[in-house]
């Protein structure tokens, strides 16, 4: 597990537990054993079991985690996701944090799967964006993959994406592309965001790996794709929803970038019951 994820777990536990779980300390004997069952309460695509397991084992390495469902599988209401076995106080201390991770990440995987399933018979990939929860990006992008989506760039450092503000600073689409091409390292992709057909033509002439058609109506996307004629990859973005997804995906684009799959995914309903033994 990446060290940044462990730091996130440590921070989340410190936030929740603080100086100690005073309720459990007052009510539950220190060495009392217990079994916890984590269960889905609605239909969902499961994601985040590794980080949930690590939450409990960070609190108490003696906790045993038994997965009953794997990430990427569909769970229905009532399905047991995992069984955890250990000291009751440790299970109670980790319950909320573990569920927060599971609920959030399963929500992203579930929403992503809706988009990916809708275009399953088309040669189109659903891409995520950088519209992620601060500190959660690696986990949320993993959840996107779990749901059947594809990751776009991880951050500002690994993939050139020339946006409208970059173009404004450079003076033109071609000038911005030229500067990026001169600076890039081998293997790095250069993508440019365009909002007009003329900008798409300029990007194509300058030479890029991907042209992103941003906030264009469907008819303009059709025109841009015909203009590009398969000479480079085409991404479309901007207010893409399940309602308009097929209209955009059927234009011949290669990718559809969807911010909704991370920034607006609802938490799935997952709970945990603990039985002292």
Question: Of 128, 193, 235, 260, which is the active-site residue?
Answer: 193
**3 classed as catalytic:** no
At residue 67, φ and ψ (nearest 5 deg) are -70, 135
Domain 117-263, architecture per CATH: Alpha-Beta Barrel (3.20)
- State yes or no: is 191 an active-site residue: no
Asked about 131 being catalytic, the answer comes back as yes
Three-class secondary structure of residue 168 per DSSP: helix
Report the percent of the chain where pLDDT is more than 70: 100
Q: 37, 68, 163, 233: which is the annotated catalytic residue?
A: 163
pLDDT band (50, 70, 90) for residue 14: very high
Catalytic-labelled residue, pool 68, 69, 130, 131: 131
Phi, psi of 45 (to 5 degrees): -100, 120
pLDDT value, residue 222: 97
The percentage of the chain sitting over the pLDDT mark of 90, rounded to a whole number, equals 99
From the DSSP assignment, how many helices (H) and strands (E) are in the chain? 11, 12
Are 87 and 34 in contact by the 8 Å Cβ rule? The answer is yes
Q: What's residue 1's pLDDT?
A: 81
Q: Of 128, 140, 191, 214, which one is the catalytic site residue? A: 214
Segment 95-115, tens digit of pLDDT: 999 999 999 999 999 999 999
Residues 43-96 have pLDDT tens digits of 999 999 999 999 999 999 999 999 999 999 999 999 999 999 999 999 999 999
117 in helix, strand or coil?
helix
List the alpha helices (DSSP H) in the chain: 3-17, 22-27, 49-59, 88-118, 137-146, 164-170, 173-183, 197-206, 218-228, 245-249, 260-263
- Show me where the domains of the chain are located: 3-115+265-276, 117-263
193 catalytic? Reply is: yes
96 is catalytic: yes
- Segment 218-222 mean pLDDT: 97
CATH superfamily, with its number, for domain 3-115+265-276: Quinolinate phosphoribosyl transferase, N-terminal domain (3.90.1170.20)
In a 13 Å sphere around the CA of 276, the CA atoms on its Cβ side amount to: 11
**Mean pLDDT of all residues in 118-144:** 97
Question: Residue range 207-236: average pLDDT?
Answer: 97
> Are 210 and 234 a contacting pair, CB within 8 Å?
yes
Mean pLDDT across the chain, nearest whole number?
Answer: 97
Q: Measured on CA atoms in the order 219, 221, 227, 231, is the torsion positive or negative?
A: negative
């Amino acid at each position: 597990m990446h060290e940044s994820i462990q730091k996130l777990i440590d921070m989340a536990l410190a936030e929740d537990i603080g100086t100690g779980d005073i309720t459990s300390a007052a009510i539950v004997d220190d060495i009392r054993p217990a079994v916890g069952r984590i269960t889905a309460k609605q239909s969902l695509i499961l994601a985040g079991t590794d980080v949930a397991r690590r939450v409990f084992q960070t609190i108490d390495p003696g906790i045993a985690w038994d997965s009953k469902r794997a990430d990427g599988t569909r769970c229905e209401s009532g399905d047991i996701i995992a069984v955890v076995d250990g000291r009751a106080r440790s299970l109670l201390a980790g319950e909320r944090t573990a569920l927060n991770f599971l609920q959030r990440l399963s929500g992203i995987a579930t929403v992503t799967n809706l988009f990916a399933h809708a275009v399953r018979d088309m040669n189109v990939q659903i891409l995520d964006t950088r519209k992620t929860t601060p500190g959660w990006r690696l986990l949320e992008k993993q959840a996107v993959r779990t749901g059947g989506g594809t990751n776009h760039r991880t951050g500002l450092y690994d993939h050139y994406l020339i946006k409208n503000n970059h173009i404004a600073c450079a003076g033109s689409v071609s000038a911005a592309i030229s500067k990026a091409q001169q600076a890039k390292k081998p293997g790095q992709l250069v993508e440019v965001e365009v909002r007009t057909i003329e900008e798409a033509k300029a990007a194509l002439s300058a030479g890029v790996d991907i042209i992103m058609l941003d906030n264009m109506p469907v008819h303009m996307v059709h025109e841009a794709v015909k203009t590009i004629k398969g000479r480079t990859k085409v991404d479309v973005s901007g207010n893409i929803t399940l309602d308009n997804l097929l209209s955009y995906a059927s234009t011949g684009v290669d990718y559809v970038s969807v911010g909704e799959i991370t920034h607006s995914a609802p938490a799935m309903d997952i709970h945990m019951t603990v039985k002292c033994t």
